[in-house]
Chain A
Amino acid sequence: MHQRILGVLVAVFAALLLLAPGVAAAQTPALDPAIAAAAKAQQKQQVEQPLNNKPVWDEVRSGVPLVTTVSGRETNVLIQPEGQTWRALRNSWFSVVAGWALVVLVLIIAAYYLINGTRQLAGKPTGRKVRRFSAWQRSIHWATAITFVILAITGLIILFGKNILLPLIGYTLFSWLSILSKNLHNFVGPLFILCTVLLFFTFVRDNIWRKHDFAWIGSFGGLFSGKDAPSGKFNGGEKLWFWGGVLICGVIVAASGLILDFPNFNQTRSTMQVANLVHITIATLFMLAGLGHIYMGTIGMAGAADAMRTGYVDETWAKEHHEYWYNDIKAGKIPGALDAPAGPAGKLEQKPA
């Protein structure tokens, strides 16, 4: 009998022993698994090696959010290791490659210009003008162009001024110039985005990619032959600039720029570091493409600047550079293209030149 009771008691005790860990676990407050694991490691450490704080120091170095009573941006992060990575990348690779790419392209363009000079018309100008750009198209083009150039120059001052301008003009003047540059860059930036959006919708119809644009690209736009392959209102190069430059570079530069321009949304430092590197890279590509566009639109080709200044080009120019567009005009497919120049454009024509 006694043995029987003893047996039951032992069984009950064994059952309790088995249950106990389960009860204890149920009483532990629900924790984030990572925190629970860290706490467990701590407890183990305290028992096995009471004088060794390794888990604490591992946690410190990992850059994880901890606890602080001081409010502010990421004040609970004791150490952020990404800052050093950003510094190393920005100060070495990104700025060096971007800077030399710009210098080399300027030298290439200068060499090309010295060898080939301005590309002139092959035929004689007829004196008859065709309308290429409306007043609105020219306005939005120049608004975008001016804001682009302001952003490019101020951006270059912020990135390279310390190495190039500062030794030349001294701390006081350079600091004043940099404050001006930073404020211009930050306030003209959003204006440039607005202009780009308007520019995109203004010119998108004439920039739809056609089959003959491949042929134009294939002939390198007459860069070496000196003769344009036939194209519509815009040639393959202009379309590449439109889609690759204005649209793709524009969107990426705008997005990364806005992240940096408005720090009041509590974006983290690592977000801004990445945005900064993306901004440097894409802005450099944008400027490289822009240099090509500016060269072809000014000293590279006779008559191109007049098109954007007055809105009109000579018939011969239209025929030689944009043959399909010229044919459409002749066929009467483009209303208003043959209207006589009025206002300043008309006057300009009478100028002895």
Chain B
Amino acid sequence: MARMKFLCDAERCIECNGCVTACKQENEVPWGVNRRRVVTMNEGVPGQRAISVACMHCSDAPCMAVCPVDCFYHTDEGLVLHDKDMCIGCGYCFYACPFGAPQFPQEGAFGVRGKMDKCTFCAGGPEPDFSEAEFKQYGRNRLAEGKLPACAEMCSTKALLGGDGDMIADIYRDRVLRRGKGAEVWGWATAYKVPPGKGTPPPAAAGGSKS
């Protein structure tokens, strides 16, 4: 089975925020929640680069490690999804995540956190595929439709790649060889490098989906 990953090519990203819009449109996420964002470095000076970032679906996911109710699970494709029915809204995943992926809609008085929302790689959640409940809680399940995430498919410069890790790595390697620069793959060391003896790197994970 493929191991799904995101890769953002900083040499190509033009900071158009099309991916952010595509994600909001496709998944109908609530107000104040942005599953994806574009961050610009060295804005206005030589060497300006931009990177689009969302949940990277880590191999040894920090959110999963600190969740008090263990509501996260790895799918067979290596995606980190979570069960919103179980989520207690404590915010620990937000403290732990290196990429700032978990989002919390504010609910009720005193800024009480609602259920955590984050990028699902357009793969829905634990509810049955294409069900009303799945769409309402997690957004579109494009993977089950045989499509890739909306952000990556929408990207006008094909800076953002989403899909089988080996395939997008091949595409990227090809680009680097052609242009002779920009070999750095942002975030992969943080997201996909599993220290020896720590966790089971999916897709080798035996259990896969929990529920």
Query: Contact between B40 and A43 (Cβ–Cβ < 8 Å)?
Result: no
Query: Contact between A79 and B37 (Cβ–Cβ < 8 Å)?
Result: no
Known: A42-B46, A46-B46. Contact between A53 and B98, CB under 8 A? no
Query: Contact between A45 and B41 (Cβ–Cβ < 8 Å)?
Result: no
Q: Contacts of A50 on B, CB cut-off 8 Å?
A: 181
State whether the Cβ of B71 lies closer than 8 Å to any Cβ in chain A: yes
Interface flags for B23-65 (1: CB within 8 Å of A; 0: not) read 0000000001010011111110111010101000000001001
Interface flags for A130-147 (1: CB within 8 Å of B; 0: not) read 000000000000000000
Of all chain B residues, the one with the shortest Cβ separation from A50 is: B181
Q: Contacts of A57 on B, CB cut-off 8 Å?
A: 184, 186
Query: Contact between B111 and A264 (Cβ–Cβ < 8 Å)?
Result: yes
Query: Contact between B85 and A262 (Cβ–Cβ < 8 Å)?
Result: no
Interface flags for B92-136 (1: CB within 8 Å of A; 0: not) read 101111111001101000111100000000000000000000000
Query: Contact between B42 and A59 (Cβ–Cβ < 8 Å)?
Result: yes
Query: Contact between B106 and A264 (Cβ–Cβ < 8 Å)?
Result: yes
Tell which of A69, A75, A158 touches B100, judged by Cβ atoms closer than 8 Å: A75
Tell which of A42, A56, A159 touches B10, judged by Cβ atoms closer than 8 Å: A56
CA distance A35 to B88 in the complex (A): 40
Query: Contact between B91 and A263 (Cβ–Cβ < 8 Å)?
Result: yes
Q: Contacts of A39 on B, CB cut-off 8 Å?
A: 42, 45-46
Q: Which one, A16-24, A80-88, A311-319, A321-329, is touching chain B? A: A80-88
Known: A69-B17, A264-B111. Contact between A158 and B68, CB under 8 A? yes
Q: Which one, A174-182, A227-235, A245-253, A292-300, is touching chain B? A: A174-182
Query: Contact between B39 and A87 (Cβ–Cβ < 8 Å)?
Result: no
Of all chain A residues, the one with the shortest Cβ separation from B33 is: A72
Known: A175-B85, A262-B111. Contact between A78 and B39, CB under 8 A? yes
Interface flags for A49-82 (1: CB within 8 Å of B; 0: not) read 0111101110110000011111111111111110
Q: Which one, A114-122, A210-218, A268-276, is touching chain B? A: A268-276
Tell which of B32, B43, B49 touches A53, judged by Cβ atoms closer than 8 Å: B49
Interface flags for B69-90 (1: CB within 8 Å of A; 0: not) read 1110000000000000110111
Q: Contacts of A56 on B, CB cut-off 8 Å?
A: 10, 41-42, 47, 49
Question: Distance in Å from the Cβ of A33 to the closest Cβ of chain B?
Answer: 14
Q: Contacts of A72 on B, CB cut-off 8 Å?
A: 32, 34, 37, 103
Query: Contact between A171 and B70 (Cβ–Cβ < 8 Å)?
Result: yes
State whether the Cβ of B159 lies closer than 8 Å to any Cβ in chain A: no
Query: Contact between B96 and A83 (Cβ–Cβ < 8 Å)?
Result: yes
Known: A87-B96, A91-B66, A264-B111. Contact between A70 and B20, CB under 8 A? yes
Query: Mostly helix, strand, loop or mixed at chain A's interface?
Result: helix
Query: Contact between A276 and B95 (Cβ–Cβ < 8 Å)?
Result: yes
Of all chain B residues, the one with the shortest Cβ separation from A44 is: B46
Tell which of A51, A80, A86, A162 touches B68, judged by Cβ atoms closer than 8 Å: A162
Query: Contact between A84 and B37 (Cβ–Cβ < 8 Å)?
Result: no
Query: Contact between A66 and B95 (Cβ–Cβ < 8 Å)?
Result: no
Question: Distance in Å from the Cβ of A316 to the closest Cβ of chain B?
Answer: 49
Of all chain B residues, the one with the shortest Cβ separation from A81 is: B98
Known: A70-B34, A75-B34. Contact between A46 and B47, CB under 8 A? yes
Query: Contact between B51 and A78 (Cβ–Cβ < 8 Å)?
Result: yes
Query: Contact between A51 and B86 (Cβ–Cβ < 8 Å)?
Result: no
CA distance A265 to B111 in the complex (A): 9
CA distance A45 to B68 in the complex (A): 46
State whether the Cβ of B165 lies closer than 8 Å to any Cβ in chain A: no
CA distance A198 to B46 in the complex (A): 61
Query: Contact between A67 and B34 (Cβ–Cβ < 8 Å)?
Result: no
State whether the Cβ of A161 lies closer than 8 Å to any Cβ in chain B: yes
State whether the Cβ of A14 lies closer than 8 Å to any Cβ in chain B: no
Q: Contacts of B98 on A, CB cut-off 8 Å?
A: 79-81, 83-84
Q: Contacts of B199 on A, CB cut-off 8 Å?
A: none
CA distance A46 to B96 in the complex (A): 35
Known: A39-B46, A78-B51. Contact between A175 and B96, CB under 8 A? no
Question: Distance in Å from the Cβ of B28 to the closest Cβ of chain A?
Answer: 17
Query: Contact between B47 and A45 (Cβ–Cβ < 8 Å)?
Result: yes
CA distance A76 to B38 in the complex (A): 9
20 A-B contact pairs sorted by A residue (CB < 8 Å): A35-B45, A38-B42, A39-B42, A42-B47, A46-B46, A46-B47, A56-B47, A66-B40, A67-B40, A67-B43, A75-B100, A77-B100, A78-B39, A80-B98, A91-B65, A161-B69, A171-B86, A263-B111, A264-B110, A269-B95
Top 9 A-B pairs, shortest CB-CB distance: A264-B111, A42-B47, A51-B181, A70-B37, A175-B86, A39-B45, A67-B40, A67-B43, A83-B96
